[in-house]
């Protein structure tokens, strides 16, 4: 009888050097503290290390050093592209940061939450992230960088009202994106296929404000792949408050209902569109995706 187990093991072992080489091919200005490991007993590939990235801040004549736990290639990629994937987000934080706290909605593994907390050590970040996979990485990264006392993690999805809803995962790994909550469409407004998920409690930002759970942030970033306009519509008190100085919101211009809602809401709240930019990889089905930066 042909032994499929031996063939599988042979293929896995032959691919190991290739995988190791590929895993580190994107290394730029980082230092790896814990290398890859390979469990020969059951041929499971274990990808877990800490990647420390240094970002130059020429305006302040300093370097910002951030450590990221990398349990998989996706989280490693995110740590390596923090400056290049959406450089406008970094510029926005440098330009407006330090005047108050940051509300980071759709924090993922904490890339920009960590950057803000490290760049402005006297400020706090409220990091809102609904994916339990990303929450693990976010909490770990805050601890690795010794900012767990200044990054306040909100594990509930932001929405337009307090309500129970289904949180649809797009992947069962740390660093996953394109998740949805409370709606049956994705980042482009089109219906999504059934995905693994769970029911959880969504909260509006004004709910938190009314209960004195948060202070008015000076900066708000909203990047949740589809319900940005829904979140904005549920927080007129927060966004109409003059203490909130600037908002960066991801908008898909091919999702016309979302674009129109964002533009109208931000105008009603007293904001002016300062600029819009596209990040790395804004092509194909993502060609209409922009970061809109508003200020007042």
- Across-strand partners of 258? none
- Across-strand partners of 52? 31, 67
72-99 average pLDDT score: 94
Q: Tokens 């590939």 belong to which residue?
A: 45
- Residues 130-144 as b/e (b if ≥16 CB within 10 A, e otherwise) read bbebbbebbbbbbeb
Residue 221 belongs to what H/E stretch?
Answer: strand 219-222
Is the predicted pLDDT of residue 237 greater than 70, yes or no? Answer: yes
Is the predicted pLDDT of residue 137 greater than 70, yes or no? Answer: yes
Q: Tens digit of pLDDT for each residue in 169-180?
A: 988 889 999 899
pTM above 0.95, yes or no: no
Which fold does the domain 84-295 belong to in CATH? Rossmann fold (3.40.50)
Cα(201)–Cα(214) distance, integer angstroms: 17
Q: Tens digit of pLDDT for each residue in 272-296?
A: 999 999 988 777 888 899 999 999 9
What pLDDT is stored for residue 63 in this prediction? 87
The tokens of 82 are what? Answer: 């923090």
């Amino acid at each position: 009888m042909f032994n499929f187990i031996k063939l599988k093991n042979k293929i896995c072992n032959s691919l190991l050097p290739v995988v190791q080489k590929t895993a580190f091919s994107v290394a730029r200005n980082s230092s790896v503290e814990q290398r890859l490991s390979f469990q020969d007993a059951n041929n499971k590939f274990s990808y877990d290390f800490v990647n420390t990235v240094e970002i130059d801040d020429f305006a302040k004549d300093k370097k910002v050093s951030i450590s990221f736990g990398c349990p998989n290639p996706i989280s490693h990629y995110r740590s390596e592209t923090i400056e290049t994937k959406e450089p406008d987000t970094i510029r926005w934080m440098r330009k407006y940061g330090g005047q108050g706290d940051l509300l980071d909605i759709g924090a993922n593994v904490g890339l920009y939450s960590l950057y803000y907390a490290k760049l402005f050590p006297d400020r706090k970040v409220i990091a809102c992230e609904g994916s339990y996979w990303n929450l693990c990485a976010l909490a770990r990264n805050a601890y690795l960088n010794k900012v767990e006392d200044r990054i306040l993690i909100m594990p509930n999805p932001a929405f337009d009202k307090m309500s129970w809803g289904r949180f649809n995962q797009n992947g069962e790994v740390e660093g996953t994106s394109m998740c949805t909550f409370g709606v049956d469409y994705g980042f482009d407004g089109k219906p999504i296929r059934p995905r693994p998920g769970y029911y959880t409690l969504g909260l509006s930002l004004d709910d938190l404000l009314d209960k004195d759970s948060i202070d008015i942030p000076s900066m708000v970033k909203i990047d949740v792949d589809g319900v940005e306009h829904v979140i904005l519509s549920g927080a007129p008190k927060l966004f109409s408050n003059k203490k909130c100085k600037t908002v960066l919101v991801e908008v898909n211009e091919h999702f016309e209902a979302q674009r129109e809602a964002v533009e109208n809401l931000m105008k009603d709240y007293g904001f002016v569109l300062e600029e819009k930019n596209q990040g790395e990889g804004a092509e194909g089905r993502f060609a209409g995706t922009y970061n809109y930066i508003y200020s007042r």
